[in-house]
């Protein structure tokens, strides 16, 4: 029999803890130089101005055709143009706002009017506050 005070390691099995699971380290996020950070463009408003020559039908039809407004929305905007002298009829990026402006200008003559109106609606663009 062996002495209890002596320890023989030759026949003793030692259990080692299992290795820790390998965790993939998150890749370091690249540092963004504030000068290279993309900047959001400000939205622009397409504004139609009132005149005494163009007919309501012409303005409403143009707003439906160019801006995709329903007849009810076009009616409300036309009423605002008539009463306030102007109305924001569309908002969005500068490039699309320029397109909408050019499309409104290019609607052609207003044959709904008592006397045909050969000049375009007054339209302008304004940047909206961010």
57 in Cβ contact with 109 (< 8 Å) = no
What does each of the 130 residues of the chain score in pLDDT, given as a tens digit? 555 555 555 566 667 777 777 777 677 776 767 677 777 788 999 999 999 999 999 999 999 999 999 999 999 999 999 999 999 999 999 999 999 999 999 999 999 999 989 999 999 999 999 8
Question: CA 71 to CA 110: how far, in whole Å?
Answer: 18
pLDDT on residue 6: 56
pLDDT on residue 107: 96
pLDDT on residue 43: 95
pLDDT on residue 2: 52
| pTM for the predicted model, two decimal places | 0.70
Give long-range contacts, CB 8 A cutoff, 24+ apart: 56-63: 56/82, 57/112, 58/107, 58/110, 58/111, 58/112, 58/113, 58/117, 59/121, 61/112, 62/104, 62/107, 62/121, 63/89
- Which domains, from first to last, does the chain contain? 44-127 (3.30.1390.10)
Which tokens hold the place of 70? 């329903």
pLDDT on residue 19: 76
* Inter-helix orientation angle 56-67/71-84, to 10°: 130
pLDDT on residue 16: 76
pLDDT on residue 5: 57
86 in Cβ contact with 47 (< 8 Å) = yes
């Amino acid at each position: 029999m062996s002495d209890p005070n002596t320890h023989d390691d030759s026949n003793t099995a030692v259990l080692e803890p299992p290795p820790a699971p390998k965790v993939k380290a998150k890749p370091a996020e690249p540092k963004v130089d504030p000068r290279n950070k993309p900047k959001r463009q400000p939205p622009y408003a397409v504004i139609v101005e009132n005149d005494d020559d163009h007919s309501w039908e012409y303005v409403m039809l143009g707003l439906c055709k160019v801006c995709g407004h329903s007849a009810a929305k076009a009616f409300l905007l036309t009423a605002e143009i008539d009463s306030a002298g102007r109305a924001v009829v569309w908002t969005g990026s500068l490039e699309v706002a320029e397109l909408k402006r050019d499309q409104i200008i290019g609607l052609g003559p207003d044959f709904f009017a008592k006397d045909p109106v050969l000049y375009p609606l007054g339209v302008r663009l304004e940047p909206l506050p961010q």
